[in-house]
Amino acid sequence: MPRARQTAAATIAQKAWAAGFSGVQVDGNDVIAMRHETECALTRARAGNGPTLLEAQTYRLADHTTADDASRYRDKAEVETRLAAEPLGRLRLYLTSISAWSKADETALKRACDSEIDAAVAAYLATPPQAPETMVDHLFATLPADLAAQRAAIMVAGDGDG
């Protein structure tokens, strides 16, 4: 839904000002600008100066979900044009242009990320499954009677050993 149909405000950031706190519009495809504005917002909050709404303007390159087909309502040429401003590619291009990033840096980072992901997957796969009845254990301070009965039935059906 276009923003113009959602609000009369020119920006979402203006809505924060109308509510009495800071609002900033940021190029959401600019990683450096986003980091800077996030740091400023954190500094303001930590100093007791209230919240900040960061309106990050970006462009969704992919479908909303696996059930969505954005090609039905977006022109392919528009998406290809916007791809040039994609945040990671844009940052890579900038850092390379100032000699602060290289192919070797990227290869090393990808290896480190792959290794971290592999370790997290291995840790997850090594975690024993929880007993089915535990699915309601942390939902309520005192389990309602109907859920307590269901939990008891699950334990009986599974002998309580998961």
Kindly report the backbone phi and psi dihedral angles of residue 132, in degrees, each rounded to the nearest multiple of 5, phi listed first. -55, -35
Please confirm, yes or no, whether 90 is among the known catalytic residues.
no
pLDDT digits (tens, 9 = 90+) for 85-114: 999 999 999 999 999 999 999 999 999 999
Cα torsion angle, 20, 22, 24, 30, sign? negative
Spatial separation of the C-alpha atoms in residues 27 and 92, rounded to whole Å? 16
Please confirm, yes or no, whether 73 is among the known catalytic residues.
yes
Q: At how many degrees (to 10) do helices 87-97 and 31-46 cross?
A: 100
| Domain ranges (residues) in the chain | 128-162
Catalytic residue chosen out of the listed positions 64, 72, 124, 138: 64
Catalytic residue chosen out of the listed positions 3, 35, 60, 111: 60
Please confirm, yes or no, whether 35 is among the known catalytic residues.
no
Catalytic residue chosen out of the listed positions 5, 73, 124, 138: 73
pLDDT digits (tens, 9 = 90+) for 33-91: 999 999 999 999 999 999 999 999 999 888 888 899 988 988 899 999 999 899 999 99
Give percent of the chain above pLDDT 70.
97
Who's near 134: CB < 8 A, 6+ residues apart?
A: 162
